[in-house]
Chains A and B, each alone.
Chain A
Amino acid sequence: MTRYIQLFGDSALAALVTGVLGLLIVASLVGQLLSRHVTNPSGRATVDNINARIRAWWVMASIFAVAVTMGTVVSIGLFCLISFLALREFVTLAATRAGDHRALFWSFFVITPVQYFLIWIQWYGLFSILIPVYASMFLAIRTVSAGDTERFLERTATTHWGLMICVYFVSYVPALLLLHVPGSAREAPKLMFFLVLIAQMSDVLQYVWGKLLGKRRVAPAISPNKTWAGLIGGVGCSTALGAALWWATPFSPVVAAAMAFVVAMMGFAGGLIMSAIKRGHGVKDYGALIQGHGGVLDRIDSLCFAAPIFFHLTRYFYVH
């Protein structure tokens, strides 16, 4: 047992990982039970999709747990890779033209790695403005010098927004490693775990509540899967889960609940926004990399919008 705890650096992280492991085992058992008892065709399709999702969760959770445990460099590297893959899905859907080629090359191979490099060397000042300010100007300059004015504003704005969502917002997850909360050592990995766990569990719980009770849609024009029952049940349960996990964070139970609430609500908004973009392009998923889930961007849409706020709230109230 002590060896197990040593592996994770401290007992709270070990407990979180153990909890997720238990949850996955329960989910797999429920999945097996469902696939044995559901026989009608439409139900089967849903159950098969649920089981595919659960299998993918095992892989995603393992990768994340290993990365967090292995320390700063691996965590930063993992999220850099996630950003790269998400940006790729985003740009594939965008209606870019030949004149965007060089700007896109810079986005993938220079701006994205540099953003994560800045976390590694702990240069918070530049980290926080690199993409909103400098990449924004640079991309516009690089694109204008290609000389193609067709839909110029739309194309430049799209490339920049891709970087904001897929790289800048996502990089706030490992940026939690920059925070040094006084009075506690090695807080950052647990904060990362808390944020990712609440954001992803909120998605799962919204899905489950929606499937069980969902009737009235929140935004029928944008997403058929987001229901009021899913929203209220999912956000409510995520808030309760956040409160229950307060011991792993620097927060009190009440603050942990409030943080989880904000994460879940921002995650909901993120999912809605990314759905609206997909709808606008007439597609259902951003990709097909993750069995049952779609693309990377489909899986992290809620995390994108939750991470910056979680980071800033923590930084404002807990880092002096």
Chain B
Amino acid sequence: MIGQVLASACRAISGARIEWRCDPHAGLQRIYFGNHTSHLDFIVIWSALPPRLRPHVRPVAGYDYWAQGAVRRYLAGEVFRAVLIERGQAGRLDAEGAARASIDRIARDMGAADSVIVFPEGTRSATGTLGAFKSGLYHLSRARPDAQLIPVHLENLNRILPKGEALPVPMLSRVTFGAPLSSTSDEPKDRFLARARNAVLQLEASA
């Protein structure tokens, strides 16, 4: 109920035109990965999904942000069923281990039926241009080779709610779901990440 209201409100604010280049109802577990420029991003992707699928698509979000305050905790826990992870902090001794643990968490929390939304850049881009992908997407795809990798491109969200602003300006946006990334089991990490990033860039160019 609250989820439905939030999805409607989000679609009204973001005025999103949604384009699918894959079957939205494929019934597979999926890893949706997209460009990240705004706090609205995951909810825009989530509300662009067919309502039937939404309960089974969980955003992966930073624990530090979503565990603050009762409202955020409630939304993350009850409405979106977010997978909250510790964000990797550069320079920390156990950074590698923490990242590894996060990937394991996500892969385990997907269970037998859930899909996830991830932002492989790790943080919101301030300029709106797509940054480098961190290796998390690679490790997740290895941990869950059964899941389809769906590139998603979000257009204009950085103008609707830019980094550092609390109130949105209701411009029109666009969400493009791309064709699944083909999987090759022995692809080196860097090649895979470049290919994944390129898939999002291509959606941007062809939107």
A117 within 8 Å of B by Cβ? no
Which B residues are in CB contact (< 8 Å) with A105? 167-169
Q: Which residues of B contact A89 (CB under 8 A)?
A: 172
Knowing A88-B15, A92-B156, A288-B17 are in contact, say whether A108-B162 is a contact too (CB < 8 A). Answer: no
Q: A166 on the interface (CB 8 Å rule)?
A: no
Q: Say yes or no: A88-B167 contact (C-beta < 8 A), given A96-B159, A101-B162, A288-B17.
A: no
CB proximity of A87 to chain B, nearest CB, Å = 9
Is A121 in contact with chain B by the CB < 8 A criterion? no
Which chain A residues lie closer than 8 Å to B171 at the CB level?
88, 91-92
CB distance from A104 to the nearest CB of B (A): 4
Question: CB within 8 Å of A: which of B162-176?
Answer: 162, 165, 167-172
B170's partner among A96, A102, A108, A288 (CB-CB below 8 A) is A108
A-B contact count (CB 8 A): 27
- Among A92, A101, A102, point to the contact of B172 (Cβ < 8 A): A92
A287, B172: Cβ atoms under 8 Å? yes
For B162, list chain A residues within 8 Å (CB): 98, 101
Q: How many residues of chain B have a CB within 8 Å of chain A?
A: 12
Which residues of chain A come closer than 8 Å to B17, judged between CB atoms?
A: 288
B15: chain A residues at CB < 8 Å are 88, 92
Please provide the chain B residues from 146 to 199 with a CB less than 8 Å away from any CB of chain A in the complex. Answer: 156, 159, 162, 165, 167-172
On whether the beta carbons of B165 and A88 are closer than 8 Å, the reply is no
* B172 / chain A contacts, CB cutoff of 8 Å: 88-89, 92, 287
CB distance from B130 to the nearest CB of A (A): 17
Chain A residue nearest in CB terms to B164: A98
A73 to chain B, nearest CB (A): 22
The total of chain A residues at the interface (CB under 8 A) is 13
| Chain B residue contacts of A287, Cβ below 8 A | 172
Cα distance A91–B168 in the bound complex, in angstroms: 13
Distance in Å: Cβ of B158 to nearest Cβ of chain A: 8
Residue of chain A at shortest CB distance from B161: A101
Interface string of B1-22 (1 = CB under 8 A from A): 0000000000000010100000
Q: Interface 1/0s, chain A 88-128, versus B by CB < 8 A?
A: 11011000101001101100100000000000000000000
Instruction: Closest B residue to A107 by CB, please name it.
Output: B169
1/0 contact trace for A57-94 toward B, CB 8 Å?
00000000000000000000000000000001101100
- Chain A residues lying within 8 Å of B167, measured Cβ to Cβ, are 105
Q: Give complex CA distance A104, B169 in Å.
A: 7
Q: Which residues of B contact A108 (CB under 8 A)?
A: 169-170
| CA of A287 to CA of B170, assembled, Å | 14
Residue on B with the closest CB to A84?
A: B170
Interface centre among B15, B17, B168, B172 (most CB of A within 10 A): B172
Q: Which of A273-296 contact B (CB under 8 A)?
A: 287-288
A108 to B170 CA separation, bound complex (whole angstroms)? 8
Residues of chain B contacted by A104 (CB below 8 angstroms): 169
**In the complex, which residues of chain B have a beta carbon less than 8 angstroms from the beta carbon of A96?**
159
Chain B residues with CB under 8 A of A101: 159, 162, 165, 169
- How far is the CB of B17 from the nearest CB of chain A, in Å? 6
In the bound complex, CA of A201 to CA of B26 (Å): 46
Bound CA span A98–B161, Å: 9
Considering only CB atoms, which chain A residue lies closest to B128 in the complex?
Answer: A98
Closest to B169 in A: A104
Q: How far is the CA of A22 from the CA of B168 in the complex (A)?
A: 43
B170 and A88 contact, CB distance less than 8 A: yes
B82 CB → nearest A CB, Å: 27
Chain A residues within 8 Å of B, Cβ to Cβ:
88-89, 91-92, 96, 98, 101-102, 104-105, 108, 287-288
Residues on B facing A (Cβ under 8 Å): 15, 17, 156, 159, 162, 165, 167-172
27 intermolecular pairs with C-beta atoms under 8 Å apart: A88-B15, A88-B170, A88-B171, A88-B172, A89-B172, A91-B169, A91-B171, A92-B15, A92-B156, A92-B171, A92-B172, A96-B159, A98-B162, A98-B165, A101-B159, A101-B162, A101-B165, A101-B169, A102-B165, A104-B169, A105-B167, A105-B168, A105-B169, A108-B169, A108-B170, A287-B172, A288-B17
The 5 closest A-B pairs by CB, nearest first: A92-B172, A92-B171, A104-B169, A98-B162, A105-B169
